[in-house]
A = this chain, B = another copy of it.
Amino acid sequence: MAVTIKDVAREANVAPSTVSRVISDSPRISEKTKRKVRKVMEEMGYHLNHNARVLVQKSTQTIGIVMKNSTSASLHDPFFPEVLRGISALCHQQEYNISITTGESEEAIFQDVVKMVQGKRVDGLIVSYSKKDDKVVPFLVQSGIPFVVVGKPIGKANEIMSVDNDNIRAAREATEFLIQLGHKKVAFIGEQPQFEVAAARRTGYMEALRLNDLEIEPAYIKSLDKTVLMKETVDEVMDLPNPPTGFVVTDDITGLNLLLCLREKNIKVPDDVSIISFNNTFIAQLATPPLTSIDTQIYQLGYESAKCLIEEIKNPSMFKKSVIIPTIIVERESCMAIKVK
Protein backbone atom coordinates (compact mmCIF):
# COMPACT_ATOMS: atom_id res chain seq x y z
CA MET A 1 0.00 0.00 0.00
CA ALA A 2 1.43 3.29 -1.05
CA VAL A 3 1.86 6.21 1.27
CA THR A 4 -1.04 8.60 1.20
CA ILE A 5 -1.65 12.14 2.14
CA LYS A 6 -2.98 10.98 5.48
CA ASP A 7 0.15 9.10 6.33
CA VAL A 8 2.15 12.18 5.63
CA ALA A 9 -0.24 14.24 7.69
CA ARG A 10 0.05 11.94 10.67
CA GLU A 11 3.80 11.82 10.48
CA ALA A 12 4.09 15.57 10.18
CA ASN A 13 1.51 16.30 12.84
CA VAL A 14 -0.74 18.27 10.59
CA ALA A 15 -4.09 17.67 8.96
CA PRO A 16 -4.46 16.06 5.55
CA SER A 17 -5.84 19.31 4.27
CA THR A 18 -2.62 21.01 5.15
CA VAL A 19 -0.62 18.48 3.25
CA SER A 20 -2.86 18.98 0.28
CA ARG A 21 -2.28 22.68 0.47
CA VAL A 22 1.42 22.19 0.68
CA ILE A 23 1.24 20.14 -2.47
CA SER A 24 -0.51 22.89 -4.34
CA ASP A 25 1.80 25.40 -2.70
CA SER A 26 -1.04 27.39 -1.23
CA PRO A 27 -0.10 30.81 0.15
CA ARG A 28 -2.22 30.08 3.19
CA ILE A 29 0.39 27.80 4.63
CA SER A 30 3.46 29.17 6.33
CA GLU A 31 6.85 28.47 4.88
CA LYS A 32 7.80 26.73 8.05
CA THR A 33 5.04 24.16 7.83
CA LYS A 34 5.65 23.72 4.16
CA ARG A 35 9.23 22.85 4.78
CA LYS A 36 8.29 20.43 7.50
CA VAL A 37 5.66 18.71 5.43
CA ARG A 38 7.84 18.55 2.36
CA LYS A 39 10.55 16.94 4.37
CA VAL A 40 8.20 14.26 5.58
CA MET A 41 6.85 13.69 2.07
CA GLU A 42 10.37 13.22 0.89
CA GLU A 43 11.27 10.86 3.68
CA MET A 44 8.22 8.72 3.28
CA GLY A 45 8.44 8.69 -0.48
CA TYR A 46 5.06 10.22 -0.96
CA HIS A 47 3.59 10.52 -4.44
CA LEU A 48 0.35 12.11 -5.42
CA ASN A 49 -2.29 9.67 -6.54
CA HIS A 50 -3.40 11.05 -9.82
CA ASN A 51 -6.76 9.36 -9.90
CA ALA A 52 -7.85 10.53 -6.53
CA ARG A 53 -7.09 14.04 -7.57
CA VAL A 54 -8.87 13.68 -10.86
CA LEU A 55 -11.94 12.38 -9.11
CA VAL A 56 -12.44 15.46 -7.06
CA GLN A 57 -11.00 18.05 -9.38
CA LYS A 58 -12.82 16.76 -12.40
CA SER A 59 -9.92 17.58 -14.60
CA THR A 60 -7.86 14.75 -15.96
CA GLN A 61 -5.07 16.77 -17.51
CA THR A 62 -5.25 14.34 -20.34
CA ILE A 63 -6.20 14.81 -23.93
CA GLY A 64 -7.35 12.12 -26.27
CA ILE A 65 -6.09 11.75 -29.78
CA VAL A 66 -8.23 10.08 -32.33
CA MET A 67 -6.54 8.78 -35.41
CA LYS A 68 -8.04 7.38 -38.51
CA ASN A 69 -8.04 3.64 -38.99
CA SER A 70 -4.68 2.68 -37.76
CA THR A 71 -4.60 -0.49 -39.76
CA SER A 72 -4.77 0.99 -43.14
CA ALA A 73 -3.29 4.37 -43.19
CA SER A 74 -2.65 6.31 -40.06
CA LEU A 75 0.47 4.74 -38.80
CA HIS A 76 1.95 3.97 -42.14
CA ASP A 77 1.89 7.49 -43.22
CA PRO A 78 4.50 9.67 -41.53
CA PHE A 79 1.78 12.28 -41.24
CA PHE A 80 0.26 11.00 -38.07
CA PRO A 81 3.50 10.43 -36.21
CA GLU A 82 4.52 13.92 -37.09
CA VAL A 83 1.38 15.61 -35.83
CA LEU A 84 1.69 13.46 -32.78
CA ARG A 85 5.14 14.84 -32.29
CA GLY A 86 3.79 18.36 -32.40
CA ILE A 87 0.95 17.60 -30.05
CA SER A 88 3.27 15.81 -27.75
CA ALA A 89 5.63 18.71 -27.54
CA LEU A 90 2.98 21.11 -26.41
CA CYS A 91 1.38 18.66 -24.08
CA HIS A 92 4.60 18.01 -22.35
CA GLN A 93 5.23 21.65 -21.87
CA GLN A 94 1.73 22.16 -20.45
CA GLU A 95 1.91 19.01 -18.40
CA TYR A 96 -0.90 17.31 -20.18
CA ASN A 97 -1.02 13.63 -20.87
CA ILE A 98 -1.84 11.91 -24.08
CA SER A 99 -4.14 9.02 -24.56
CA ILE A 100 -4.71 7.58 -28.00
CA THR A 101 -7.48 5.56 -29.54
CA THR A 102 -6.75 1.95 -30.24
CA GLY A 103 -9.60 1.01 -32.52
CA GLU A 104 -8.88 -0.20 -36.00
CA SER A 105 -12.20 0.17 -37.69
CA GLU A 106 -14.12 3.38 -37.89
CA GLU A 107 -16.73 1.97 -35.60
CA ALA A 108 -14.22 0.78 -33.03
CA ILE A 109 -12.57 4.16 -33.02
CA PHE A 110 -15.89 5.79 -32.49
CA GLN A 111 -16.50 3.57 -29.50
CA ASP A 112 -13.12 4.49 -28.12
CA VAL A 113 -14.04 8.11 -28.37
CA VAL A 114 -17.34 7.56 -26.67
CA LYS A 115 -15.63 5.81 -23.81
CA MET A 116 -13.10 8.54 -23.48
CA VAL A 117 -15.64 11.28 -23.16
CA GLN A 118 -18.43 9.51 -21.33
CA GLY A 119 -16.04 7.94 -18.90
CA LYS A 120 -14.53 11.36 -18.33
CA ARG A 121 -11.11 10.10 -19.15
CA VAL A 122 -10.01 13.15 -21.07
CA ASP A 123 -10.49 16.88 -20.87
CA GLY A 124 -10.53 17.29 -24.60
CA LEU A 125 -9.74 15.62 -27.89
CA ILE A 126 -7.84 16.17 -31.07
CA VAL A 127 -9.28 14.58 -34.16
CA SER A 128 -6.42 14.11 -36.54
CA TYR A 129 -8.42 13.96 -39.73
CA SER A 130 -11.54 15.33 -41.30
CA LYS A 131 -13.79 13.00 -43.12
CA LYS A 132 -17.24 13.13 -44.57
CA ASP A 133 -19.96 11.17 -42.82
CA ASP A 134 -17.78 10.50 -39.84
CA LYS A 135 -19.65 10.09 -36.57
CA VAL A 136 -16.91 11.30 -34.28
CA VAL A 137 -17.13 15.03 -34.79
CA PRO A 138 -20.92 15.25 -34.54
CA PHE A 139 -20.76 13.23 -31.37
CA LEU A 140 -18.17 15.54 -29.93
CA VAL A 141 -20.06 18.72 -30.69
CA GLN A 142 -23.18 17.46 -29.05
CA SER A 143 -21.29 16.15 -26.07
CA GLY A 144 -19.97 19.61 -25.45
CA ILE A 145 -16.43 18.55 -24.71
CA PRO A 146 -13.64 20.76 -26.07
CA PHE A 147 -12.01 19.41 -29.19
CA VAL A 148 -10.18 20.49 -32.27
CA VAL A 149 -9.88 18.88 -35.64
CA VAL A 150 -6.74 18.86 -37.71
CA GLY A 151 -8.06 19.70 -41.11
CA LYS A 152 -11.12 21.57 -42.21
CA PRO A 153 -14.19 20.29 -40.45
CA ILE A 154 -17.16 19.28 -42.50
CA GLY A 155 -20.14 21.52 -41.89
CA LYS A 156 -20.70 24.41 -39.49
CA ALA A 157 -17.14 25.54 -39.12
CA ASN A 158 -17.76 28.25 -36.58
CA GLU A 159 -18.83 25.79 -33.96
CA ILE A 160 -15.71 23.74 -34.35
CA MET A 161 -12.13 24.59 -33.66
CA SER A 162 -9.69 23.55 -36.31
CA VAL A 163 -6.13 23.82 -37.42
CA ASP A 164 -5.52 23.41 -41.08
CA ASN A 165 -3.59 24.46 -44.13
CA ASP A 166 -5.16 26.38 -46.92
CA ASN A 167 -5.23 23.29 -49.01
CA ILE A 168 -7.03 24.69 -51.97
CA ARG A 169 -4.49 27.38 -52.32
CA ALA A 170 -1.58 25.09 -51.63
CA ALA A 171 -2.74 22.72 -54.33
CA ARG A 172 -3.28 25.58 -56.69
CA GLU A 173 0.24 26.76 -56.10
CA ALA A 174 1.62 23.30 -56.50
CA THR A 175 -0.15 22.89 -59.78
CA GLU A 176 0.88 26.31 -60.96
CA PHE A 177 4.42 25.44 -60.08
CA LEU A 178 4.28 22.76 -62.71
CA ILE A 179 2.42 24.96 -65.13
CA GLN A 180 5.06 27.60 -64.74
CA LEU A 181 7.61 25.03 -65.72
CA GLY A 182 5.76 24.66 -68.96
CA HIS A 183 3.65 21.64 -68.16
CA LYS A 184 0.33 21.72 -69.88
CA LYS A 185 -0.77 18.21 -69.12
CA VAL A 186 -0.74 17.66 -65.43
CA ALA A 187 -2.45 14.84 -63.62
CA PHE A 188 -3.69 14.56 -60.07
CA ILE A 189 -3.61 11.57 -57.76
CA GLY A 190 -5.18 11.80 -54.35
CA GLU A 191 -6.84 9.99 -51.54
CA GLN A 192 -10.53 9.34 -51.67
CA PRO A 193 -12.40 12.62 -51.65
CA GLN A 194 -14.33 11.70 -48.53
CA PHE A 195 -11.27 12.99 -46.77
CA GLU A 196 -11.54 16.70 -46.80
CA VAL A 197 -7.86 17.29 -47.52
CA ALA A 198 -8.02 15.26 -50.66
CA ALA A 199 -11.11 17.05 -51.84
CA ALA A 200 -9.66 20.47 -51.16
CA ARG A 201 -6.44 19.72 -52.94
CA ARG A 202 -8.30 18.41 -55.88
CA THR A 203 -10.32 21.56 -56.22
CA GLY A 204 -7.15 23.61 -55.86
CA TYR A 205 -5.66 21.62 -58.67
CA MET A 206 -8.64 22.24 -60.89
CA GLU A 207 -8.69 25.88 -60.00
CA ALA A 208 -5.12 26.21 -61.18
CA LEU A 209 -5.92 24.60 -64.48
CA ARG A 210 -8.87 26.87 -64.98
CA LEU A 211 -6.97 29.99 -64.07
CA ASN A 212 -4.34 29.09 -66.60
CA ASP A 213 -6.76 28.24 -69.34
CA LEU A 214 -5.89 24.61 -69.38
CA GLU A 215 -8.37 21.93 -70.14
CA ILE A 216 -9.49 19.77 -67.24
CA GLU A 217 -8.98 16.23 -68.40
CA PRO A 218 -11.03 13.82 -66.25
CA ALA A 219 -8.80 10.91 -67.19
CA TYR A 220 -5.95 12.71 -65.47
CA ILE A 221 -7.71 12.79 -62.15
CA LYS A 222 -7.41 9.71 -60.03
CA SER A 223 -8.24 8.87 -56.49
CA LEU A 224 -6.79 6.00 -54.57
CA ASP A 225 -8.28 3.59 -52.20
CA LYS A 226 -7.05 0.38 -50.69
CA THR A 227 -8.72 -1.75 -53.28
CA VAL A 228 -7.03 -0.27 -56.29
CA LEU A 229 -3.36 -0.71 -56.88
CA MET A 230 -1.17 2.24 -57.56
CA LYS A 231 0.35 0.45 -60.49
CA GLU A 232 -2.96 0.14 -62.25
CA THR A 233 -3.87 3.73 -61.93
CA VAL A 234 -0.47 4.81 -63.14
CA ASP A 235 -0.86 2.51 -66.11
CA GLU A 236 -4.23 3.95 -66.86
CA VAL A 237 -2.92 7.44 -66.89
CA MET A 238 0.36 6.91 -68.64
CA ASP A 239 -1.03 4.65 -71.30
CA LEU A 240 -3.39 7.35 -72.38
CA PRO A 241 -2.78 8.41 -75.95
CA ASN A 242 -1.80 11.75 -74.59
CA PRO A 243 -0.17 11.12 -71.21
CA PRO A 244 0.55 13.89 -68.72
CA THR A 245 4.00 15.29 -68.16
CA GLY A 246 3.40 16.31 -64.59
CA PHE A 247 1.79 14.91 -61.48
CA VAL A 248 0.38 16.52 -58.41
CA VAL A 249 0.01 13.89 -55.71
CA THR A 250 -1.47 14.50 -52.30
CA ASP A 251 1.21 12.95 -50.19
CA ASP A 252 4.81 11.87 -50.25
CA ILE A 253 4.07 8.21 -49.97
CA THR A 254 1.99 8.33 -53.07
CA GLY A 255 4.86 10.24 -54.56
CA LEU A 256 7.30 7.45 -53.78
CA ASN A 257 4.86 4.95 -55.05
CA LEU A 258 4.44 6.85 -58.25
CA LEU A 259 8.19 7.08 -58.63
CA LEU A 260 8.39 3.36 -58.35
CA CYS A 261 5.64 2.67 -60.85
CA LEU A 262 7.12 5.06 -63.35
CA ARG A 263 10.49 3.45 -63.01
CA GLU A 264 8.96 0.12 -63.87
CA LYS A 265 7.60 1.63 -67.01
CA ASN A 266 10.97 3.10 -67.73
CA ILE A 267 9.76 6.63 -67.47
CA LYS A 268 12.35 8.99 -66.06
CA VAL A 269 11.72 11.50 -63.35
CA PRO A 270 12.13 14.41 -63.75
CA ASP A 271 13.24 14.10 -67.37
CA ASP A 272 10.04 12.61 -68.71
CA VAL A 273 7.56 13.56 -66.05
CA SER A 274 7.67 15.88 -63.09
CA ILE A 275 6.19 15.17 -59.69
CA ILE A 276 5.17 17.47 -56.90
CA SER A 277 3.79 16.03 -53.72
CA PHE A 278 2.44 17.13 -50.39
CA ASN A 279 3.57 17.13 -46.79
CA ASN A 280 7.30 17.19 -47.16
CA THR A 281 7.75 14.39 -44.72
CA PHE A 282 11.23 13.03 -44.27
CA ILE A 283 10.72 10.48 -46.99
CA ALA A 284 10.36 13.20 -49.60
CA GLN A 285 14.01 14.03 -49.27
CA LEU A 286 14.99 10.41 -49.18
CA ALA A 287 13.34 9.55 -52.45
CA THR A 288 15.33 9.03 -55.58
CA PRO A 289 15.11 11.58 -56.93
CA PRO A 290 14.22 13.67 -53.89
CA LEU A 291 10.71 14.96 -54.25
CA THR A 292 9.67 18.53 -54.60
CA SER A 293 6.98 18.73 -51.98
CA ILE A 294 4.64 21.20 -50.38
CA ASP A 295 5.61 21.51 -46.78
CA THR A 296 2.40 21.52 -44.79
CA GLN A 297 4.27 21.89 -41.54
CA ILE A 298 2.69 18.93 -39.94
CA TYR A 299 4.51 19.41 -36.70
CA GLN A 300 3.06 22.87 -36.40
CA LEU A 301 -0.34 21.52 -37.24
CA GLY A 302 -0.09 19.24 -34.27
CA TYR A 303 1.47 21.80 -32.01
CA GLU A 304 -1.12 24.44 -32.75
CA SER A 305 -4.02 22.08 -32.41
CA ALA A 306 -2.86 21.07 -28.97
CA LYS A 307 -2.40 24.69 -28.13
CA CYS A 308 -5.90 25.62 -29.18
CA LEU A 309 -7.35 22.69 -27.37
CA ILE A 310 -5.65 23.40 -24.11
CA GLU A 311 -6.56 27.06 -24.27
CA GLU A 312 -10.14 26.07 -24.78
CA ILE A 313 -10.01 23.61 -21.94
CA LYS A 314 -8.57 26.19 -19.62
CA ASN A 315 -11.16 28.76 -20.48
CA PRO A 316 -13.90 27.77 -22.82
CA SER A 317 -14.51 30.64 -25.16
CA MET A 318 -17.65 31.52 -26.92
CA PHE A 319 -16.17 31.51 -30.35
CA LYS A 320 -14.27 28.59 -31.72
CA LYS A 321 -11.19 29.77 -33.47
CA SER A 322 -9.61 28.15 -36.43
CA VAL A 323 -6.03 28.61 -37.44
CA ILE A 324 -4.39 28.25 -40.79
CA ILE A 325 -0.82 27.09 -41.05
CA PRO A 326 1.03 28.38 -44.09
CA THR A 327 2.55 26.05 -46.62
CA ILE A 328 5.81 26.32 -48.45
CA ILE A 329 7.03 24.72 -51.62
CA VAL A 330 10.26 22.88 -51.04
CA GLU A 331 12.01 22.40 -54.33
CA ARG A 332 14.07 19.32 -54.89
CA GLU A 333 14.75 17.27 -57.94
CA SER A 334 11.51 15.78 -59.09
CA CYS A 335 10.42 18.67 -61.24
CA MET A 336 11.89 19.97 -64.43
CA ALA A 337 10.92 22.52 -67.02
CA ILE A 338 9.29 20.99 -70.01
CA LYS A 339 11.61 20.62 -72.92
CA VAL A 340 10.79 22.75 -75.90
CA LYS A 341 10.81 20.56 -78.89
Binding site for B on A (CB under 8 A): 2, 47-52, 54-55, 60, 62, 70-71, 75-76, 78, 80-82, 84-85, 88-89, 91-92, 96-100, 102-104, 108, 112, 115, 118-121, 253, 256-257, 259-260, 263, 282-283, 285-290
B88 touching A100, Cβ below 8 Å: yes
B49 touching A51, Cβ below 8 Å: no
Most chain B beta carbons < 10 A, residue from A76, A82, A290: A76
Interface of chain A: mostly helix, strand, loop or mixed? helix
A43 to B: closest C-beta gap in Å: 15
Which 7 A-B residue pairs are closest in the complex by CB-CB distance? A47-B118, A50-B119, A92-B102, A256-B286, A75-B81, A88-B102, A288-B288
5 extra interface residue pairs, beta carbon distance < 8 Å, beyond A75-B82, A88-B100, A99-B99: A71-B85, A78-B78, A81-B81, A89-B102, A256-B283
A70 to B86, CA, bound (A): 10
Known contacts: A256-B283, A257-B286. The answer to whether A92 contacts B120 by CB under 8 A is no
A82 to B92, CA, bound (A): 23
Closest to A254 in B: B286
12 contacts between A and B (CB under 8 A): A49-B55, A51-B60, A51-B120, A52-B55, A76-B81, A76-B282, A89-B104, A253-B286, A256-B283, A260-B286, A260-B288, A288-B288
A283 cross-chain contacts in B, Cβ below 8 A: 256, 283, 286
A292 to B: closest C-beta gap in Å: 15
A49 to B117, CA, bound (A): 10
